[in-house]
Each structure stands twice: as C-alpha cells, then as structure tokens.
Structure 1
Amino acid sequence: MKKVKITILKTTLQEDLAREYGVDGLSTCPLMKEGEVYYADYSKPENFCDEAWKAIYQYVFALAHGAQEVWYYSDWIKTPGVAIVSCNDGLRPVIMKLEATDIESVSGDE
C-alpha cells in the first residue's frame, strides 16, 4: 500500500446559501487552510477534519491500493492517479487534490 498526498486547493464559502441557512458570521472552514498537505493511506491523517475524511476516504483507499485508471466513465478527471474532491459541508466546502504517490505506507504510520 502507498501513501496518498492530500493537498487543500481551496476553502470556499457559498455566500448565498450561507446568508440563507448559516449562522451569522459564517466564513470558510476554520480547520483546513489552502496549501496544507497531508499524507494518508487507510487512516485519517492527524489534525484532518473528521467530516472531510468521511467524504474522501474511499478515494484515498482506492489510490493507496494502486487505482490508476481514470475514474468513472472517463468524464471526470483526465489524469490517472488523481482525484479532485470536496468535503460534505454544503455551505463552506473545502476542495482537495488527492494524488497517488510511490511512498510506501508503513504499519503504524500517521
């Protein structure tokens, strides 16, 4: 099994939805910052948002186990070994890039 590189590409705020449904003063995700990098295999990286992990772990797991095909029906991501995903926060989604690496996962790694 290999490590998967997770890069935080964007922290967003759906302003129209936030105005209608969010609490006063809602802003982008306070837990993750653009440019942060994490490495994962089958377990959530330390300090990584629990909800974001639930939304992306199946892609991380597939990439960690060697998935290199283009996802779905070849109508999503053009680069094998890459997935662009987001957390499940509908008001302030965080966009992430997942990349397969050649870094071996070692049992007990974070």
Structure 2
Amino acid sequence: MKKVKITVLKTTKQEDLAEEYGIENFSTCPLLKEGEIFYADYAKPEGFCDEAWKAIYQYVFALAHGVDENLFYYNDWIRKPGVAIVCCNDGLRPVIFKLEKTDIISEPNKE
C-alpha cells in the first residue's frame, strides 16, 4: 500500500445557499486551509476533518491500493492517471481536494 497526497485546492462557499440557510456570519470551512497538504492510506490523517474524510476516504483507499485506473476513471473523469479531484459533503461550504497517488510506502502503525 502507498500513501496518497491530499492537497486542499479550494475552500468555497455557496453564497445563495449560505444566505438562505447558513447562520449569521457564515464563512468558508474553518478547519481546512487552501494549500494544506496531508498524507493518508487507510487512516484519516491527523488534523483532517472527520466529515471530509468520510466523503473522500474511498478514493484515497482506491489510490493507495493501486486501483486499475481504467476501471476507476471510466475514461470520462480525470485525464491525469493517479489523480482524483473530490470534495467534502458540506453543501454550503464544500472543500475541494486533489488526491495523488505517490510512491511512498505506507508503514503500519507500530504503537
């Protein structure tokens, strides 16, 4: 299993939905910042949002395990092999991530 690099590409806010449904002074995600980088395999990286992890872990898992890219991408999604662009499931302020498979071998937690 290999590590997957997770880069926070964008923190967004759906202005119209936030105006209608969000609390006063609603902002973009307060937990993750654009440009932050995390590495993961089967476990959520330290400091990573729990809800975002639930939304993206299956893509991380697939890339970490060397998924057959022809099946993964169906030739109609991402043109660059080993990359996935995904987002968390917050409908008012989704965070967009770039996932990249790496050659970094994942070591089991030895604690």
TM bin (shorter chain): over 0.9
- Aligned-partner SS, 1:20: helix
Match of 2:67 in 1: 67
Name the Cα RMSD after superposition: 1.2
- Aligned-partner SS, 1:102: strand
- Aligned-partner SS, 1:35: coil
User: What is the CA–CA distance in structure 2 between the aligned matches of 1:48 and 1:34, rounded to whole Å?
Assistant: 13
Structure 2 gaps of 5+ residues are: none
Instruction: Kindly state the Cα deviation for residue 68 of structure 1 after the two structures are TM-superposed.
Output: 4.9
Which 4+ residue blocks in structure 1 deviate beyond 4 angstroms? none
Q: Structure 2 matches for 1:17-96, cutoff 5 A?
A: 17-70=17-70, 71-96=72-97
User: What is the CA–CA distance in structure 1 between the aligned matches of 2:39 and 2:68, rounded to whole Å?
Assistant: 18
- Segment drifting more, 72-81 vs 82-91: 72-81
Q: For this pair of structures, how many residues does the alignment match?
A: 109
Structure 1 gaps of 5+ residues are: none
Higher helix share: 2
Q: In the alignment, does 2:94 pair up with 1:105?
A: no
Identity across the alignment (%): 75
